[in-house]
Amino acid sequence: MTSEIENDKAATEDSNEAKIEELKPRMKRVDITFKVVDKGEVREVTSRRTFDTHKIADAIVGDETGTVKLPLWNETIESIEVGRTYRLENGYTGLFRGNLQLKIGRHSELKKAERNIETVNLDLDMSAKDHRSDRPRHYYQPYGGTQRFGQATYSARGSRNRDSRRDRYDRRRRRW
């Protein structure tokens, strides 16, 4: 009997049962029950990598705590009906242009829910908030440009620029 309880506990720890108001960017293994409030119009996009054409539509889904956008791809568009309640297992969240989205992955399972959600809180839209971080992005400055401070010359990467090729070679060797 205890082994069954431990197995159930381990299974629930792996998943991330959540309400919509608890969703944050980059959550994985999200299990959530939601009701489809609205489904947008279908549009076609072309893949940059394979140049395949895909159909995509954005659905607004919600529960008692709030709403969020759910992008639907290809066959999923026809399988989702407005007004029905669904359960998403092993979904994840991500950002698109700074806005939160609940996403269906290749390992996700979308099925009709056993319990029905009667009311949806339309006041809290998690996709409307800008979830971009305030910290500045780190990027590498290109080689090349130099700036002069006093007598020393510094490159764009911040290292001191020496004239001789031998000095640059020795400096690289000292790093290792």
Condensed to tens digits (0 to 9), the pLDDT of residues 16-75 reads 678 999 999 999 999 999 999 999 999 999 988 899 999 999 999 999 999 999 999 999
Residue 129 belongs to a domain: no
Q: Return d(Cα 97, Cα 104) in angstroms, integer.
A: 18
Residue 1: partners with Cβ closer than 8 Å, 6 or more residues away: none
Residue 132 belongs to a domain: no
Residue 35 belongs to a domain: yes
Q: How many domains does the chain have?
A: 2
Question: Which has more confidence, 26 or 165?
Answer: 26
Q: Do residues 108 and 150 both lie within one domain?
A: no
Q: How confident is the model at residue 11 (pLDDT cuts 50, 70, 90)?
A: very low
Residue 53: partners with Cβ closer than 8 Å, 6 or more residues away: 44, 45, 46, 47
> 47: domain CATH number?
2.40.50.140
Domain membership of residue 30 as a residue range: 15-112
Residue 33: partners with Cβ closer than 8 Å, 6 or more residues away: 63, 85, 86, 87, 88, 113, 115, 117
Question: Residue 132's pLDDT is what?
Answer: 77
101-139 pLDDT tens trace: 999 999 999 999 998 999 999 999 998 888 777 666 655
Point out the domain boundary residue: 112, 131, 166. Answer: 112
Element housing 90 (H / E) = strand 85-96
Q: Return d(Cα 76, Cα 134) in angstroms, integer.
A: 35
Residue 135 belongs to a domain: no
Q: What are phi and psi of 29, to 5 degrees?
A: 50, 50
